[in-house]
Amino acid sequence: IGGVIMPGVRLMRRALGEGTARIGSVGGGEVNLETHNTASAVATGTVLGAAAAVDRVVADYAAQLEPAPRLLLTGGESSLIASASNTVFEIVPDLVLRGLCIAARAIMSEQDSTSDL
């Protein structure tokens, strides 16, 4: 039905550091709306921005789909996004490896069935 491509938290932080005067490379800030330092302001903006974008995409798709889809979240930033998101996800850290395992089994099964010919 479609999809989106958007930057992750690390890429957004790098873009801010490289493209915004006087921010430079920042890291280690905590997500906190009441922050008074640049590192935490960047951390808060990027994490909340990514989470809000994910929430919007999920809401738009959920409005089109019946029954509601199962929502999986994976990747190195999944815990950051989940902690700031209004959406409830099932975090699956090894989702890509699971998919590769399924693909490998299918290939092996296909090879076994053709070897009998």
- Return all residues near 71 (Cβ < 8 A) that are at least 6 apart: 58, 87, 88, 89, 90
Give pLDDT, residue 44. Answer: 94
Between 18 and 104, where is the model more confident?
A: 104
- CA–CA distance, 73 with 95 (Å, rounded to integer): 9
Q: What is the pLDDT of residues 3-47, one digit of tens each?
A: 788 888 999 999 988 888 778 777 778 898 998 988 899 999 999
3-class SS at 30? coil
**pLDDT exceeds cutoff 90 at 100:** yes
Query: Do 62 and 77 meet the contact criterion of CB atoms below 8 Å apart?
Result: no
Q: What backbone phi and psi angles, to 5 degrees, belong to 96?
A: -65, -45
| 72 strand-pairing partners | 90
C-alpha angle 25/83/4, rounded to 5°?
Answer: 75
**Given a cut of 80, is residue 1 above it in pLDDT?**
no
How many C-beta atoms lie closer than 10 Å to residue 69's C-beta? 11
Cβ-based neighbour number of residue 87 at 10 Å: 16
Task: Specify the pLDDT at position 85.
Answer: 94
- pLDDT of the residue at 55: 95
What digits encode the pLDDT tens for the residues 58-81? 999 888 888 888 888 888 888 999
